[in-house]
Amino acid sequence: MDALNSMRVFVKVAEFNSFARASEALDMAVPRTSRIISELEDHLGTRLLQRTTRKMSLTEPGRIYLERCRQILGEIEETYLMLSANAVSTSGRIRVAAPALFAQHKLAPVLAAYQRAYPNVIVDLVLADRPVDLIEEEFDLGILAARRINAMSLVSRHLATTDFHICAAPGYLAEHGTPMHPSELADHPYLAFRTEHSSEEVTFHAADGTSIAVQPKTSFVCNNIGMLRASALAGMGIATLSAYLVEDDIRTGRLQRILPEYHLADREFRIVYSTRKFQSLKVKAFIDLAVEHFRQTNE
CA atoms within 13 A on the CB side of 139: 21
Most confident region among 67-81, 108-122, 126-140, 146-160 by mean pLDDT: 108-122
Q: b/e map of 90-111 (b: 16 or more CB within 10 Å)?
A: eeeebbbbbbebbbeebbeebb
**pLDDT top residue among 198 and 233:** 233
Tell me how long the chain is.
Answer: 299
pLDDT category of residue 90 using cuts at 50, 70 and 90: low
Strand partners, 167: 239, 257
pLDDT category of residue 201 using cuts at 50, 70 and 90: confident
pTM attached to this predicted model: 0.61
In the prediction, which pLDDT does 193 show? 81
**Section 95-109 average pLDDT:** 89
Residues 6+ apart with CB under 8 A from 1: 39, 40, 43
**Residues 45-67 pLDDT 10s:** 999 998 876 778 889 999 999 98
Q: Do domains 88-145+271-298 and 164-265 have the same CATH topology?
A: yes
Strand partners, 154: 274
Q: Is the pLDDT of residue 255 over 90?
A: yes
pLDDT category of residue 205 using cuts at 50, 70 and 90: confident
**Residues 107-132 pLDDT 10s:** 999 999 999 988 889 999 999 877 78
Domain 88-145+271-298 has CATH 3.40.190.10: yes
Q: How far is Cα 97 from Cα 108, in angstroms, rounded to an integer?
A: 14
User: Residue ranges of the domains in the chain?
Assistant: 3-83, 88-145+271-298, 164-265
Average pLDDT, the chain: 85
In the prediction, which pLDDT does 81 show? 62
In the prediction, which pLDDT does 114 show? 93
In the prediction, which pLDDT does 195 show? 61
The CATH number fitting domain 164-265, selected from 3.40.190.290, 3.30.1330.60, 3.90.340.10, 3.20.20.140? 3.40.190.290
Architecture of domain 3-83: Orthogonal Bundle (1.10)
pLDDT category of residue 197 using cuts at 50, 70 and 90: very low
**Section 163-178 average pLDDT:** 93
